[in-house]
Amino acid sequence: MQRDAAFAALPPPRTEWQRLAWRGLEFLLGEWPSEFRDAGHSMVFPHFLGFTGAQERHHGDVFQRAIIADALCDADELLDGALHPAVRREVTYLVGRRLTLGVGGWSYFPTLPELPPDADDLGQVIQVLVRSGCAPLVDEHATAPLGVLFRDCVHADGSFETWIIPAHDRTAEQQRQLDAAHEKWGTGPDAEVMANLLYALMLYDAPRFAVECRRGADYIERCQQQDGSWTCRWYFGPYYGTYACSRFIRAIHPRAASLARAADFIRRTQNRDGSWSQPSSSAGDALSTALALLALAAAQSADGIESEDTTRATRARDWLEQNDEGDGWPSCSFIRPSKLHSYGSRTITTAYVMKAALAWECVSEGNPCIGADGEENAGALWKA
């Protein structure tokens, strides 16, 4: 697809990692005029099952557009603001999709009355608002849902619920959302969701949320599996959760032992051809490979980069280069909203490939990972 003429030609890539990233960025800019139509997620929620939406089919793209905008922020840091118009358009869109009733915030399917606002969408949007220079919008639009989350949805062990529902004085719609959470969506904390939101809060205002981040980090580390990975309720495979949790732990506690265990897990599960794959498959896929690369980058020792990891990452880069379809990377299973339904998008796969390539360019040059604004002093918040 031809990209929008509003964007100037990309500069020649300086490195092989940047060459790979630019291939992804060319695809994303080509999808920009269509407002990333491929990334949207549609599902049917039938009335006969008790859902009360005006229509049975619901569409969501808040989480996806925030992922894409975050990846564009990565590239924009290297392009001196050339992508600022694209990022700002995404900010405007995301703010326009916020919920205006109840506690506010964002919902994965905004038009489905039974689906509450959630901490995952909230965290992903906050990251974009902060990284795009629009942090005042966090004050304006995220304060209320954050207040309810940390007042009513926190557990004694430091974890918190994914769904943001008031504990008292609920509206009729919020009561339906609570009932649906118990009957349809499931309740309880999700480590990867917690890590995504807490990482966003560290970028936004680490001192203000120091207590929540420290207690959350304790809980998330306790959730690490024996093999070094983190499992997910909402995502396929172990690599998204391992990336999200490693990124947050690295931000708050750069020398945590859990990071070394996560890195070992990523090393052990790489395929001979350089890719990573879902546990149920022996064939590598681009999304698992990109997420594993991001997790491995996040888990690099604060004392230096493992040379063997650079070799592993190079093998993965070669595999990704060979498996580019010429128009982005293939759609891969990413989100699993139910046992009978899965979601994937080539736009999301490509955004993560680009993000992984830019992260490893920074790692290979000995620089902090792209997107780490606000992390430099965050480790000082950790109290052993």
- Tens-place pLDDT, residues 228-286: 999 999 999 999 999 999 999 999 999 999 999 999 999 999 999 999 999 888 899 99
The pLDDT assigned to 177 comes to 97
**Crossing angle of the two packed helices 119-131 and 62-78, in degrees rounded to 10:** 30
Which residues, in sequence order, are CB contacts of 30 under 8 Å at separation 6+? 1, 2, 3, 4, 327
* φ, ψ at 265 (rounded to 5°): -60, -45
Main-chain phi, psi angles of 58, to 5 degrees:
-125, 145
Using DSSP bridges, classify how beta strands 57-60 and 41-44 pair: parallel, antiparallel or unpaired. Answer: antiparallel
Q: What are phi and psi of 8, to 5 degrees?
A: -70, 165
Residues in a beta bridge with 59:
42
- Which domains occur in the chain, in start order? 16-381 (1.50.10.20)
Q: What are phi and psi of 289, to 5 degrees?
A: -65, -45
pLDDT of residue 303: 64
pLDDT, tens digit only, all 384 positions of the chain: 455 555 668 999 999 999 999 999 999 999 999 999 999 999 999 999 999 999 999 999 999 999 999 999 999 999 999 999 999 999 999 999 999 999 999 999 999 999 999 999 999 999 999 999 999 999 999 999 999 999 999 999 999 999 999 999 999 999 999 999 999 999 999 999 999 999 999 999 999 999 999 999 999 999 999 999 999 999 999 999 999 999 999 999 999 999 999 999 999 999 999 999 998 888 999 999 999 999 999 998 766 777 899 999 999 999 999 999 888 999 999 998 776 678 999 999 999 999 999 999 999 887 655 554 444 434 444 433
50: left (phi over 0), alpha (psi -120 to 50) or beta: left
In three-state secondary structure terms, 162 is coil
pLDDT of residue 155: 98
What is the per-residue pLDDT for 300? 87
Token pair, residue 322, equals 């060979």
- pLDDT at position 301 is 74
The string over 315-351, giving b where at least 16 C-beta atoms fall within 10 Å of a residue's C-beta and e elsewhere, is: bbbebbeebbeeebbbbbbbbbbeeeeebbbbbbbbb
Residue at token pair 């495979």: 237
- pLDDT the model gives residue 14: 94
Instruction: Determine the angle formed by the axes of helices 191-205 and 210-222, rounding to 10 degrees.
Output: 150
The set of residues, in sequence order, having a beta carbon less than 8 Å from that of 259 and lying 6+ positions away, is 246, 249, 250, 298, 299, 301
Pairing state between β 335-338 and 341-343: antiparallel
pLDDT at position 366 is 76
pTM (two decimals): 0.94
- DSSP letter string, 83-137: THHHHHHHHHHHHHTS--STT----SSTT-TTSPPBHHHHHHHHHHHHHTT-HHH
Residue 181 DSSP symbol: I
Tally DSSP H helices, then E strands, for the chain: 14, 4
Strand partners, 160: 154
What's the rounded Cα separation, in Å, for the pair 201 and 235? 22
Distance in angstroms between the alpha carbons of the first and the last residue of the chain? 51
CA nearest to 334, candidates 345, 323, 347, 325: 345
Please choose, from the candidates 243, 241, 221, the residue with its C-alpha nearest in 3D space to the C-alpha of residue 231.
Answer: 241
What pLDDT, on a 0 to 100 scale, did the predictor assign at position 369? 59
**Residues 129, 89, 17, CA angle at the centre, nearest 5°?**
75
In the chain, how long is the greatest CA-to-CA distance? 58
